[in-house]
C-alpha cells in the first residue's frame, strides 16, 4: 500500500517553485515530488494563508487545512513534511505529536536556529520512535554519491583541498555546503574564521572560514545573495580536480595526464568528465529514498543526528567570529 503524506507549509519549497511546471521535470517541491512518486499519496496540506491553501487545492485536488492538529487528526499520515520557517519547527512538531505519530518526519533545513532547540527536536523524535530526516537533498543525488564513492575508494586521492562559495547566510545556505562536506569527508575537527563578514537578513552570519576534516581542508567564502545566488565547489587532490557548479547542476572531473609539451611534467586533462546527476528532480530523489527506506533499503538521507552535527559545526564557527 502506498504511504500517505501531509505537507505543513506551502511556501516556495513546499509548493511554489514548480507550481506551474508542465511535464515530468523539474521537481523542486515537496508537493510535486510526492504526487510524482508511484508509491506515495498526497493526502493534504496545512498553511496559514487562505490564498496558498486555495492554490494547493486547485492544483493537487486535496484538502488544505489552517490548523496542524485538525489535519493530523483527520488524515493520520505515514509521513509528515515540516516546511515552515525554521524557528517554528519545534512548535509544529509538538502539534503533530499531540494527535498523530507518523512513521517518518521530513523537516526542512536548518533543523532550528539554535543548537538546543535542534537537539530537543532530535531527542523528541528518538523518544517516540519516529524516524527524523532533514532535507539536505544533495545527499540523495546520484552525482554527489558518485563523488563520495570515488573519495571512499581512493579514486579521488586523499587528502583533498576544497574552495567553496555560499550566499544567503551560513545557517540557511552555508549549512548545505557544510552538510555536504561532512557527507563526503567525515566529521569536522576544527574551524578558523578568516573574516567575520556581515549578517544576512540581520540574523544569519556570513563568515569566511577554514574547516578541518582530519587531513582535509575546506575554505568556505560568502558571496552576495542580493547580487546573485552562488553555490560552488572546487576540489583538488593529487589525482585531479572536481568542479561542482550551479548548486550541483554541473559536476565535472579532470584527471591528471602527462604534459604533451614538456617532458616530466603532469597537468590536468584537457577534457572534462561529466558526472551524471539528477538535480532537476532533487526533491523526488529525497522522497524516493524515504519510500525505499520504509521498505527496508539503506539510505543516504540526512538523519536528525547528522543535521544536528552540521549545526554543531556552524555553532563552533559562529562562536569563533
Task: Write the pLDDT tens digit of every residue in 264-290.
Answer: 999 999 999 999 999 999 999 999 999
Burial class (CB in 10 A: 0-12, 13-18, 19+), 60: buried
Q: Percent of the chain at pLDDT above 70?
A: 100
For 288-318, give the DSSP string. Answer: HHHHHHHTT----PEEHHHHHHHHHHHHHHH
Position 19 scores a pLDDT of 94
Number of H helices, E strands in the chain: 9, 19
19-33, 65-79, 208-222, 284-298: the lowest-pLDDT one: 19-33
Q: Which CATH architecture has domain 3-136?
A: 3-Layer(aba) Sandwich (3.40)
pTM: 0.96
Confidence of residue 228 (pLDDT cuts 50, 70, 90): very high
The pLDDT of 135-163, averaged and rounded, is 98
Cβ–Cβ under 8 Å, residues 18 and 28: yes
Topology given in CATH for the domain delimited by 142-277? Dihydrodipicolinate Reductase; domain 2 (3.30.360)
Q: Where are the domains of the chain?
A: 3-136, 142-277
Amino acid at each position: 500500500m502506498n504511504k500517505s503524506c501531509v505537507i505543513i507549509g506551502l511556501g516556495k519549497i513546499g509548493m511554489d517553485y514548480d507550481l506551474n511546471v508542465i511535464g515530468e521535470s523539474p521537481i523542486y517541491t515537496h508537493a510535486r515530488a510526492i504526487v510524482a512518486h508511484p508509491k506515495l499519496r498526497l493526502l493534504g496540506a496545512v498553511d496559514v494563508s487562505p490564498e496558498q491553501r486555495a492554490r494547493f487545492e486547485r492544483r493537487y485536488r486535496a484538502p488544505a487545512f489552517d490548523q496542524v492538529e485538525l489535519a493530523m487528526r483527520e488524515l493520520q499520515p505515514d509521513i509528515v513534511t515540516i516546511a515552515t520557517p525554521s524557528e517554528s519547527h519545534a512548535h509544529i512538531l509538538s502539534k503533530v505529536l499531540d494527535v498523530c505519530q507518523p512513521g517518518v518526519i521530513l523537516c526542512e533545513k536548518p533543523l532550528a536556529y539554535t543548537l538546543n532547540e535542534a537537539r530537543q527536536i532530535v531527542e523528541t523524535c528518538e523518544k517516540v520512535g519516529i524516524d527524523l530526516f532533514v532535507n539536505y537533498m544533495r545527499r540523495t543525488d546520484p552525482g554527489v554519491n558518485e563523488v563520495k564513492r570515488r573519495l571512499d575508494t581512493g579514486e579521488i586521492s586523499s587528502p583533498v583541498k576544497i574552495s567553496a562559495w555560499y550566499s544567503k547566510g551560513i545557517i540557511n545556505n552555508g549549512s548545505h555546503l557544510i552538510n555536504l562536506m561532512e557527507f563526503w569527508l567525515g566529521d569536522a575537527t576544527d574551524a578558523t574564521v578568516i573574516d567575520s563578514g556581515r549578517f544576512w537578513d540581520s540574523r544569519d552570519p556570513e563568515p569566511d572560514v577554514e574547516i578541518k576534516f582530519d587531513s582535509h581542508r575546506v575554505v568556505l567564502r560568502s558571496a552576495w545573495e542580493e547580487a546573485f545566488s552562488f553555490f560552488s565547489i572546487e576540489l583538488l587532490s593529487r589525482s585531479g580536480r572536481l568542479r561542482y557548479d550551479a548548486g550541483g547542476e554541473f559536476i565535472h572531473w579532470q584527471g591528471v595526464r602527462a604534459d604533451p609539451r614538456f617532458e616530466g611534467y603532469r597537468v590536468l586533462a584537457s577534457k572534462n568528465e561529466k558526472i551524471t546527476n539528477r538535480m532537476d528532480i532533487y526533491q523526488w530523489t529525497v522522497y524516493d529514498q524515504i519510500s525505499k527506506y520504509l521498505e527496508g533499503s539503506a539510505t543516504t538521507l540526512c538523519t536528525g543526528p547528522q543535521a544536528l552535527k552540521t549545526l554543531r559545526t556552524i555553532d563552533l564557527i559562529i562562536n569563533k567570529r
